[in-house]
Chains A and B, each alone.
Chain A
Amino acid sequence: MTVMWRLFVNEIIKVFSKWRTYIGFGAIGVGVILAMWGFSIGGSSIQRDLLRRLGDEFITTGNLANGMWASYLLMNTLFIHIPFLITLVAGDVVAGEGTAGTFRIYLTRPVSRTRVLTSKLLAAATYSAALVAWLGILSLGLGNWWLGTGDVFLVDEQGILVLPWDLALTRFALAYLFAFYTMFTVAALTFLFSVMVTNAIGPIVGAMAIIIVSGLLTIIQLDAFAWFQKHLLTTHFVLWQYAFRDPIPWDLVLDSTINLGVHSTAFVALAFLLFKRKDVLT
C-alpha cells in the first residue's frame, strides 16, 4: 500500500466513525422515502394537473408521475439541502482534529502535512460523492420500484422534454456527476474554512452563510449585480439541470465547469498554503 492510500484509509475510518457523517445519509433517506410515499398517494392528481396544463396538444399513455420523474423533482432539492449536509463533514475534517487535539498525535509522524491534507480532501470529496450517489441510487431505485418506471416527461421554463427511459438513465448519471462536481466546490469552500480554525462550527456556519448570501445575489435579478453574478458560486449550482436539456448545452456546461473549477482550485490551494504554515496550538 502506498502512503497516500494508507492516509486515505485512515481519513475514511475517521469520517465514518463519527455519527454526524450519517446525518446526511439519514436525512436524504427519510426525505426520499417520504417524498416517494407522497408521490405514490398524490401521483394521480399530479398527473391530472400535468395533463390539464398540456391541454389537447398531447396524447399521453401510461404513468407520467413515475419513479424517474419523481427522482428529477427530488434533484431540485439539491440546491438547498445537500450543501448543508456536505458542510457538516467537510467542516469537521480538519477543524475536528484541532478541537479533539488529535493533530498532536497525528502530525508528529513522518508524513508531510501536504499528504495529510490531501488525504483529508480526498475523504471530503468521497463523502460528497457518496452523498450524491446515495441520493441517486435511493431515489431512482426506490422511485422505480414504488412508482413504476418509464419515460421522463419534463416541463420547465425551457419547454417540454420527453426523455426515453434508457436515455433518461444516462442523463441522470450525467446529472449526478455534475451534482458531485458542484458539491465538491461546496466541500472545498468548507474545507478551506476548516483549515483556518479549530472548531467545526465556524466552517459550517461560514460556508452556509456564503452560500446563502451568494444564492440571494444569484436569484435577485438586478442590473447592479449582473457584472458579478456570472462568477458567483451559486450561479453554477444549476449545472446538473443542463443534463436534462436537449440537446445538452455544452457551452453552458463548460462555462459552469470552469467557474466551479476555478473556485475549487482557489479554495483548495489556499487551504494547502495555510495548513502548511499552520501552528498547531490545540
Chain B
Amino acid sequence: MSAPAIATSNLSKRFGKRMAVNRLDLEVPEGEIFGFLGPNGSGKTTTIRLLLSLIRPSEGNAHLFGQSIRKEYPRYLHQVGALADEADFYLNLSALANLKLLARLHKGVDEARCLEVLRLAGLEERAHDRVKTYSHGMCQRLGIAQAILHRPHLLILDEPTTGLDPQGMHEVRLMIRRFANEEGMTIFLSSHLLNEVEQICTSMAVLSEGKLLVSGPVQQFLSAETATLTELQANPIGSARTALERLPFVSQVEEKNGRLQFRVDHQHRPEVAQALIEQDVEIYSLTPVSRLEDYFLSLFGSPDTGGELP
C-alpha cells in the first residue's frame, strides 16, 4: 500500500503564546481532491506553510508521500506543487521569464513545458507580457501554472479563487478538476468557500482554532440525515406556510421562487407532511436540501453567511 499524499502527526505551530496549529493529525489519501476548510484564522494557511517548509513546526511532523518534511527537506518538494496564498511573481519579468526562472530549479523542465502550462492556464498569448500588466485572475491562473510546472504528484492550493469573478472561479475549478482527473494529481485545496468544496472535493477536513474538528468524505457531510434545511413545493402556498408556522419544530420559514424553505430535523419530516395534508395542501415535493453550509451551521452555530465561512 502506498503512503498517503499527506500525513501529519501532532503537527503544531506556535507564534508567541498563540497556537496557530494545534496537534494536527490529518491524512490525505493519494488521488483525492481534499478540501481543507475553516474560518479565517483557523490555521489553514499556517498548515500549508508547514507542509511546504516555509515555516518550521514547533512540534510534530508531516510526511508527504512518506517523506518527512523535517528530514527530507528539500527533496520531498520534487513531488509538490503549490500556490500558497495569493499568486505573487517577479512583476518586471514576463510570465514566460517567471516560469523559466522557476524551471531552472527543477530537473527536466524546459521552455516547451513552460509554454505548455501557459497554454493550460490560457495565458499563451500573453506569455511575453510583463506580469505587472496582468489582471488578478490572470495572476491566479499563472499561479496554478507555476505550481504544476514540474508535474507534481501533489498540488497544494491555498484559496486559489479568492478575489476572482464568477467566470474566473469557474475556470480555476475546471483546471483543478482536469489536473485531478487527467493527470492523477492529489489536490489539497484550502478554502473558506463551502460551495467550492462541495462542487469539486471528494474528501474534506474542517479546522477551527488550529484543531481538527472533522474529516471524511464530502458525501458523508452532505447526507440527507444531517441536513435540516428543507424545501417544499406545494399549493396553495399561503396555506402551506400557515401550517408550517404553527408547527413548534419548524423554524425559519421563507418563500423563495414560489417554494418554501424551512428548517426541520430529519425525524420530524413525516409530521410536517401530515400537517400539510390535514390542511388540504397539495404536496408536489418535500425535499431535504443537503448543503455543506447547512452542516457548517450545525458545527459552528453561526447565522447564514451566504456560502462563506464566518
Chain A contacts to B: CB under 8 angstroms: 1, 3, 6-7, 9-10, 13-14, 17-19, 100-113, 277, 279-281
Q: A14, A18, A109 — which one has the most chain B CB atoms within 10 A of its CB? A: A109
Shortest beta-carbon distance, B245 to chain A, in Å? 51
Q: Which of B63-118 contact A (CB under 8 A)?
A: 73-78, 80, 82, 84-93, 97, 101-102, 104-106
Contact B54 A7 (CB under 8 A): no
Question: In the docked arrangement, what's the CA distance between A281 and B105, Å?
Answer: 22
Question: In the docked arrangement, what's the CA distance between A3 and B91, Å?
Answer: 24
Contact B54 A279 (CB under 8 A): yes
Question: In the docked arrangement, what's the CA distance between A100 and B86, Å?
Answer: 11
* Interface check B49, CB cutoff 8 A: yes
**Provided the pairs A6-B105, A13-B101, A101-B86 are in contact, do residues A110 and B54 lie with their beta carbons within 8 angstroms?**
no
* Interface check B3, CB cutoff 8 A: no
Partner of A109, one of B91, B97, B106, B143: B106
Shortest beta-carbon distance, A89 to chain B, in Å? 14
Question: In the docked arrangement, what's the CA distance between A63 and B73, Å?
Answer: 64
Contact B54 A100 (CB under 8 A): no
Contact B82 A9 (CB under 8 A): no
Contact B77 A108 (CB under 8 A): yes
Contact B54 A104 (CB under 8 A): yes
Contact A105 B102 (CB under 8 A): yes
Contact B55 A108 (CB under 8 A): no
Shortest beta-carbon distance, B90 to chain A, in Å? 6
Task: Output the nearest chain A residue to B79 by Cβ-Cβ distance.
Answer: A110
Question: In the docked arrangement, what's the CA distance between A47 and B304, Å?
Answer: 87
A112 CB contacts on chain B under 8 angstroms? 73-74
Task: Output the nearest chain B residue to A113 by Cβ-Cβ distance.
Answer: B74
* Interface check B146, CB cutoff 8 A: yes
Contact B104 A10 (CB under 8 A): yes
Contact B77 A105 (CB under 8 A): no
Question: In the docked arrangement, what's the CA distance between A279 and B56, Å?
Answer: 7
